[in-house]
Amino acid sequence: MSPPSLLILYGSQTGTAQDTAERIGRQAKRRWLKVRVEALDNYNVANLISESLVVFVCATTGQGDPPDNMKKFWRFIFRKSLPAGSLCRLDCAVLGLGDSSYPKFNFVAKKLHKRLVQLGASTLLPLGLADDQHDLGPDGVIDPWLTAFWDRVLALYPPSGGLDPLGEDELLPPRFVFHFLDDVTENLTIQSEVMDTEKLRPPSQVHPFMARVVSNQRVTHASHFQDVRLIEFDITGSNIQYSAGDVVVIHPKNCSEDVEQVCQMLRLDPTRRFMLRPAEGETVPARLPQLCTLGYLLESFLDIGSVPRRSFFELLFCFATNKLEKEKLMEFCSAEGQEDLYAYCNRPRRTAIEVLADFPHTAADLTVDYLLDLFPEIQPRSFSIASSLLAHPNRIHILLAVVKYKTRLQKPRKGLCSTWLASLDPTQGEVHVPLWVKKGLLRFPSDPASAVIMVGPGTGVAPFRSALQERLAQDKSGNVLFFGCRSSSKDFYCRHEWEEMERAGQLTLFTAFSRDQEDKIYVQHRVKEQAALLWDLITNSNGHFYIAGNAKDMPTAVCDALKEAFQSEGGVSASQAEDMFNTMERTGRFQSETWA
């Protein structure tokens, strides 16, 4: 039987699932298979009934939600009108990427796998459940799963002519070829036309709105270890509308020092202009200008300062000619060398730039056509909006914690987006940020009689600032906020706003300052103390309960405290309290937005 075309569809939020899908695509090419790799929402799902071999690579986000680039597919595949045997011609496999520290570990992959079987698809092998918590990271599961997958596929569809797979050190053609242009006048003319066209489109990931930074204010004490900013953007003329609970998405940029270092190592001229010519089956990324400079590509598109994935080392290995560097790269690419690779790269959070510096001979041999194969695209960052249009017309506020930490490496690790945003100083001239808005996970009740109970420690308070501004502008009462931080004097964000609302009788505020006394006090302790109030609000005022913040321990502890309140104040059993909580969650009266 001749091998069919392999289709690899991915749902990816941070780029990891996309990287894994592209890795499977490269392995398919080495096995002489014709292959396509697409995001699920870019694929015409109506064609799925005529496919014969598909791999689904799916991440899980939030509280068991599908990634943004597979939501249309998700709605379609779960239509009740789809016939039970509609995918009877399909051989498929599902690989999930998740984190077992979350309650709904790999929920999307599990649910998709079950649905495909319901629709008649044949699964080639058991569902793969990669786990960030594995000792070797996701590859600890992905590697053996892929070995089993290729054994199964090649048994069913052996390569024609008995061709052996290409070696891992054989360089595959690049996904794009750079065509450099030296006619500056031509470049500027076409660039202008592209920009004029973009102005007509609503803000989106491909065409974000360039919002002016109005203010960038530190809201933690100068002596506090954590730098947190309240940043205000002007969105006048954007036609952006948003409600409490919505999210602003921002495209960050690499710092100029990193761009200069990459240009030096790879001998690139940042002013050179080019057009991309895609290989068969590829499309030029829509976010790149038709005519682009290498400087723009490295500053605004390629994630040159991220911790590189295994695919980065696999490509370096293909270019390596220096004996010592090639041996080390071969080890990092092997299944046996994954523990060493994790210790070298992931544990200390070593960046791609630092890796290139450690392999200077190989870096010098890299060619420009492989830049988009080597570095992933910068992923946009999402922030809960911390303001209301009713209180701040034509403005968006965010509450931003600047990421900076130490590892065993001498240079501190820094978050790309938070470091870039914190560096923007509107007092030194106009600065703009590319952004757009999307619906968030939190929805607040329209009924003015419904009470709202919000638990938002740290920057988790951001969506509740938006909700409170919106509700106060609509004269809605019954507002309760539990806020927690380390110290009342150092990181009590928006303190004066909360206290003013409290004095005006618009807010009931409970605070937990974990380091202001010998015993640590957290928001869950305050929730437990207010069991009688919460029971009254939930049973007599149609109370809605919300949690936002770090996903590690806080959400579970707060939920447990709420269930204990049901037992102590409502006189119900533990199982009845659990049922009450589940009913609240199912009906939207309990909602959460948490992140790692």
- Binding-site residue ranges: 12-17, 59-62, 97-106, 132, 349, 381-384, 415-418, 459, 514-515, 520-524, 595
The secondary structure of 168-190 as a DSSP string is TTSPPPPSEEEEEE--HHHHHHH
Q: Tell me the C-alpha distance between 540 and 549, whole Å.
A: 27
Q: Tell me the C-alpha distance between 45 and 75, whole Å.
A: 11
Query: Tokens 């011609």 label which residue?
Result: 89
Amino acid 547 reads I
Query: Tokens 């403005």 label which residue?
Result: 395
Residue set of the binding site for FAD: 349, 381-384, 415-418, 595
Q: Tell me the C-alpha distance between 424 and 253, whole Å.
A: 11
Query: Tokens 């590509």 label which residue?
Result: 297
Burial 570-592 (b: 16+ CB within 10 A, else e): eeeeeeebeebbeebeeeebbbb
The token duo for 495 is 């303190």
> Hey, which bits of 112-156 come out as E strands?
122-123, 128-131
Residue set of the binding site for FMN: 12-17, 59-62, 97-106, 132
The token duo for 309 is 């994935």
Burial 179-207 (b: 16+ CB within 10 A, else e): eeeeeeeebeeebeeeeeeeeeeebeeeb
Contacts of 176 (CB under 8 A, 6+ apart): 276, 277, 278, 279, 282, 284, 369, 372
Angle at 453 between CA 447 and CA 458, to 5 degrees: 130
Collapsed DSSP state (helix, strand, coil) of residue 4 = coil
- Paired with 592 in beta bridges are 547
Residue set of the binding site for NADP(+): 459, 514-515, 520-524
Collapsed DSSP state (helix, strand, coil) of residue 134 = coil
Q: Tell me the C-alpha distance between 142 and 17, whole Å.
A: 11
Smallest Cα–Cα separation from 241: which of 76, 418, 436? 436
Contact 560, 524 (CB under 8 A): yes
Collapsed DSSP state (helix, strand, coil) of residue 432 = strand
Amino acid 98 reads G
Smallest Cα–Cα separation from 328: which of 362, 294, 290? 362
Amino acid 102 reads Y
Smallest Cα–Cα separation from 11: which of 38, 47, 49? 38
Distance of CA 357 to the CA centre of its chain: 28
